[in-house]
Amino acid sequence: MKRKLLIVCAAAFLSSSSFGQVTDLGGPLSWKTPLKSASLLQTKKMKSFDMKTVETQDLVNDQDKSIPYRFGYKFDTDFTLDNSGSWENLADGGRVWRLAIISDDAITMNLLLEDVVIPKGASLYLHDAENTNRVGAYTARNNREDGLLGTELMRGDHMVVEYYEPASVIGQGSFTIVNVIHGYRTLTHVQNNLTKALNSSGNCNIDVQCPLGDLWSNQIRSVAMIVVGGSGICTGALINNSCNDGTTYFLTANHCLGGSTGNWAFRFNWEVSAGDASLSCATTTNTAGTYNNSSNWDQSANGATILASNGASDFGLLQIDNMTVTDASNWGLFYAGWNNVDTDGTITSAIGVHHPSGDIKKICEEQDAPYHSVVSGADVWWIDAWDSGVTEPGSSGSPLFDQQGRIIGQLFGGAAACNGTSNNNQYDFYGRFGVSWGLGASTYLDPTACGGGSATSNPGYDPNPSTSSLDKLVSNLFTVSPNPSNGFFKLDLGSTSLKGANVTISDMTGRVVLTQSINSISTSLNLSSADNGAYIVRVISSEGSQVKTIVLNK
C-alpha cells in the first residue's frame, strides 16, 4: 500500500503582501533600527550528526509510504526568553530579544515552538544574518490555547530569532523553541529563486491552469497544501456546510494525522496565477524560473482542531483555527460541495486536485467510474488507472470530486505515478465520503441548527461570488471514439440542439492544435499530423461546456 506523504520541500519568503496568519509588519525591527550587530549575538550551534546513518535510514524509510518522507534532522532544544539570547532596550520603552542559531550546511531551517504567548503589539520573526531572507511576523493572531506554533522554512544554515515587545506589554510574552530542524535533502528547487517545490513532481502531472482544469475552477480554489508538523506534506480541501456560513472546515486523510495539528500550516493558492496568460499552463518540464512571478503562493493559515476522524474511511475533518470567511473571500477561495450518496455505480467519472511532492497544484482525471473496494479494513473508491495525470507522495488527503464537482472522498493511497512523461497506469484508492458521513462528518457539515440532517449533496459555497467560474458544468455533452486512436476520432453530440457548437483541441501545455465548428450530430476530428500523446477536447455550446481527454497513439 502506498500512502502518499512527502516532507515539505518549500522555503518561505514573504513579499510585501499579507501572509494570512503571518502578518506583514515591514520586516524585523533590527532591519530598520540600529541595534547590536548580529555577529555579536549569543549563538546556539547545533551539533553535527551522522549523515551516513541518516542516509542509510532514508534508503529504507523512503520505500515505506506509511511514514513521512523525511527531509530534515530534528534537534531537541529548550531555548526560552529567560535562558537564551539577549535583550536590547529601545528608546520608546520597548525591547527586542534576539538569538542566533547555526546548523552548519543546512539547506533550510525551521522551528517548532511550545508555550507560545505573543501579546498584542508584539511580533516574532526569523531571518538570516545578512537581512535578506525572513519568515514572519508571527503575532497575537497566532496564539492558540495549546501554545503550539510551527514556523515556515527559512533557507540557509544561520538563523536569527527576533522577538519584539512594545512598552505596553513588557514581560507578558513567552515561548520555548523545542525543535530546530536542519533541512539536509538536496532541494535545488528551494534554493533557486525561492520557487519552493515548483517543478518537483513527475513530468506527467498536469497543471490546474491547463485545459483539463477549465471546468473545475471552483473545486481547484478549495484545495490547499498542508505542512504537517514541520516535517511532512499532505493535501486537503475547504469543505462547505449546509449553513453556507463560511466555517473553515477542512477535509483531509486520517493517516495524515498524528501528533498535534496545532503546528500545521495550510498553504492556499500555491499555483500559477490564472490571470497571467504567459503562465497559463505550467508543466513540470518547464524551467522553474519561468514561474517566479506567481503572486498567490503566500496565503497561509496556521493551526487546526480535529473535529472527527476515522480509519474506516481514512478521513479527518478539521477546523482551521483563526482563519475566517473574510480571509477565504480575500484569497478567492471556494468551499467545496459534497455528495454522500455512497451507492456503487452512481459516480460516472472523477477528478482529483492535489499537490504532488509539494509542487504547484495539479489535476488528474478518471473518465471511467470508480468503484467500491476495501483496503486494510477501510472502505474506498478504487480507481484502476488515471486517464490523465497521476497522484504522488504529498497528494495524500486530496479530494476526489464526482462528475458534478462534489467531494466523494480523499486520497488514501495507491501505486499511481509518472513513468517519465507518461502515466504508469497503476491504481489509486480514496476513502469514501459517504462512509465518513456516518462516522462524524454529518454532525458538522449538515447540522440540524441550519435545518439540515437529511441532505445528500451540497453544491459548495463561494464567499466571493465574483470569482465563480463562468462555465456551466455539463455531463455527457459529447463522446469521442475510438479512444485511443491512430489520429482519426469521431465526436458524437448528445443532442441535435448542440449543432453550431465549437470544438477546440489542445495539448497538455495549452497549445491549440485544432479548432472547428460542429455542424452535424457526428463530426470527424483529424489529428493524424499531431504528435502522439494526450490531448484535451473541449466543446463550447449554448448549453454549457465540457472537456474530455483523448489519446493519440499512431
Four-point Cα dihedral 462, 463, 466, 471, nearest 10: 0
**Residue 248 to residue 251: CA distance in whole angstroms:** 10
Q: Which residue has the cell 484545495?
A: 223
Our answer to whether residue 255 is catalytic in this structure is: yes
Alpha carbon distance 475, 546 (integer Å): 7
Strands 206-207 and 407-414: unpaired
Question: Pick the catalytic residue: 396, 398, 436, 541?
Answer: 396
Contact 281, 256 (CB under 8 A): no
Catalytic residue among 207, 314, 327, 359: 314
For residue 261, CA distances in Å to 10, 314, 414 come to 19, 16, 25
Name the residue among 159, 109, 165, 114 with its Cα closest to residue 140. Answer: 165
CA dist., res. 554 & res. 538, Å (int):
22
Identity at 440, one-letter amino acid code: G
CA atoms within a 13 Å half-sphere pointing along the CA-CB vector of 492: 7
In the set 127, 255, 354, 355, the catalytic residue is 255
- Describe the chain by its helix, strand, coil percentages, rounded to 5: 15, 40, 50
**Do 498 and 478 contact (CB within 8 A), yes or no?**
yes
3-state secondary structure 263-331: CCEEEECCCCCCCCHHHCCCCCCCCHHHHCCCCCCCEEEECEEEEEEECCCCEEEEEECCCCHHHHHHC
As a whole number of angstroms, the distance between CA 66 and CA 254 comes to 12
Residue numbers annotated as active site: 255, 314, 396
